[in-house]
Amino acid sequence: MYDPVATLQQDDEVLYVARVGMNASRQFMILTAEARLHGRVNRFLSDVAWSARAHRWHLAEPELAGEDARPARTLVRLLTRP
């Protein structure tokens, strides 16, 4: 199950951050339109943010993509801190 958390758009590319697994799961994955990025599940949003920063995606403004705004706000905070 994929529950969307946020989208990041940069030029013509879009990344989706989604919660994966059961409803109460705190595991996340970065997805592209074609496939998963790195092909692994991240246990923490901080791991997602680190991976996004490593690929210069921290320059993109995250947009809320799901019903629960808390993970998206956390991701924004993690991506924008120095």
Residue 12 has pLDDT above 80, yes or no: yes
Confidence at 24, pLDDT banded by 50, 70, 90: low
Residue 61 vs residues 8, 23, 39, 41: alpha-carbon distances, Å: 6, 26, 23, 22
Rounded Cα distance, 23 and 10, in Å: 29
- Residue 14 confidence (pLDDT): 86
Q: Domain ranges in the chain?
A: 2-80
Give the HSE-up count for residue 10: Cα atoms under 13 Å, Cβ half-sphere: 14
What pTM was estimated for this model as a whole?
A: 0.78
User: What residues contact residue 55 under an 8 Å CB cut-off, 6+ apart?
Assistant: 37
Cβ 78 vs Cβ 5: under 8 Å: no
* Structure confidence by residue, pLDDT tens digits, 35-76: 555 556 788 888 888 888 888 877 787 888 888 888 888 988
Residue 7 has pLDDT above 60, yes or no: yes
